[in-house]
Structure 1
Amino acid sequence: MITLYDLGPSLLEDQTLGLSTPCRKIILILRYKDIPYDHRFISLSEIESTAKSVGAPPTTTREDGAEKYTVPFLYDSTHGRAVSDSYLIAQYLDEAYPDTPKVFPKGTKALQSLAVDALEAKSTSLIPVIRPKMYRQMTPKMFEELNKQYGPAPELSTEELTAQLAKAKTMFDELKKSFGNQEELYVMGDRPIYVDFSLASLVLTLRVYYGSQSKEWGEAKNWAAGRIGNICEGILALMRV
């Protein structure tokens, strides 16, 4: 059984899509692959000790050279493995569960890594939109820890929010050029791969924190001539567990 560790909990009624974007990516992949898992929430102050307790390695280093632990990480009791970092976790799931749909078709790892880096660069425009909403919907303990570690999240005025979403739209609209006249929904055709899940997990953050009926999510679905919304809805429809 896989135990996936995510940042949380929050005050949201529905937390099934996860609270952190990297964890959401793995949740979508696990459900696409139909792999059962246990979704556990831990606070910022619990990440390092919990990761060490299950044998999950650090994902990076701090400025002072100390090891840094981040979510997501998982422990797979079936195979006795602990894995950190969403990119490495996705590769592990392909290898450890070979009878499930692959998110890294042969020969695509390097190309997908570059594509995801480009996507994450585009997503920086969403940070000012998401952070204040995310902070407000966390438990008091999580709110305090987020403020302490990352600083306060300034609230946007209506005008600032509109301008920031317009900036995000401009960034994501550039994806239209990448898809060109391609009729297939996903990057490589009819089946999603890692980069598709990366895109969906980023944009679905608006749905998680603003709501499925919100104006903000409604606008995001229409980015890139509707391609963004179609990919997100397509992936949600594939979730099996």
Structure 2
Amino acid sequence: MATEIVFYDIPSSLPNKAWSPNTLKTRYALNYKGLAYKTVWVEYPDIESVCRQIGAAPTRNKPDGRPHFTLPMIHDPSTGATIADSAKIAAYVDATYPDRPSLMPAGTVGLHRAFEDAAHPLIGPIYPYCLPASHALLNPVSAAYFRRTREELWGKTLENLTPAGDADRVEWKKLEDGFGKMDEWIRASGEGSKYLMGDVLCYADMWMAAYLLWLKLVLPGRWGEIASWHGGRWGTLLQNLEKYETVL
């Protein structure tokens, strides 16, 4: 029987298909732990039916109370487990495969959850930039779904979402400052620290790298600037994690 983990991701027209920051967190995690897996690509309109078919729990509820199913998701035939949500997946593979490198070292699962809660508002300005750029890379069936749902959420067309002129300067500075706050957290472990836990890579670093890789993939023209922020920290982080970007 097959024992490799099945990892469900969202395709794009990019050469390696992978692009979503949420699923990139899980791709980093699986590759870092060296787990055998295969990718199954699922277009946006098919996510709910695929999740229901294999028994995944919804990750949250929609505004009208209906269950909302999202990727990433994994199915582990070795245990029969089906897990959605990148942080839950990281905790699961750590608990199930403790002989592999740790994503969330013992006693830090709660701290990682707190990190996500604190970090996510800091990168809020990323979405008006990256959502329209991501839409342009999606396959037609997903692009139509993505446009409809994101325009409903934001109350404006994707074409009008990206800041321009003075608004661009203000929002882009907010994004830089948000990453600056995370840079401060890393430097708190020592001025020469590479990662949030010093020299030890953890899931929180992969979380940050996933959003940085999203920026690099969908906004290549602005990546050089981002890579240079805060002493070049973010370009170096992606270089250090590049070996874990592999699409299997």
Does the CA contact (< 8 Å) of 1:12 and 1:137 recur in 2? yes
* Aligned residue number for residue 154 of structure 2: none
TM-score by length of 1: 0.89
CA distance in structure 2 between the partners assigned to 1:146 and 1:239 by the alignment: 24
Letter of the 2:233 partner, please give it. Answer: R
Secondary structure of the structure 2 residue equivalent to 1:222: helix
Pairing 1:1-241 to 2, within 5 Å after superposition:
1-7=4-10, 9-15=11-17, 18-151=18-151, 152-154=157-159, 156=162, 159=165, 161=168, 163-178=170-185, 179-180=187-188, 181-211=190-220, 214=221, 216-237=222-243
CA distance in structure 2 between the partners assigned to 1:108 and 1:50 by the alignment: 31
Report the CA distance between 1:128 and its aligned residue. Answer: 1.0
CA distance in structure 1 between the partners assigned to 2:191 and 2:32 by the alignment: 23
Secondary structure of the structure 1 residue equivalent to 2:218: helix
TM-score by length of 2: 0.87
Distance 1:239-1:99 versus aligned 2 partners, 3 A rule: farther
Structure 2: tracts of 5 or more residues without a match? 152-156
Q: Percent identity?
A: 26
Which digits, 9 at most, give the CA deviation of each residue in 1:129-150, with x for residues without a partner?
A: 1111111111121111111222
CA distance in structure 2 between the partners assigned to 1:66 and 1:139 by the alignment: 26
The two structures, once aligned, show a CA RMSD in angstroms of 1.9
Report the CA distance between 1:78 and its aligned residue. Answer: 2.1
CA distance in structure 2 between the partners assigned to 1:58 and 1:14 by the alignment: 27
Does the CA contact (< 8 Å) of 1:32 and 1:239 recur in 2? no
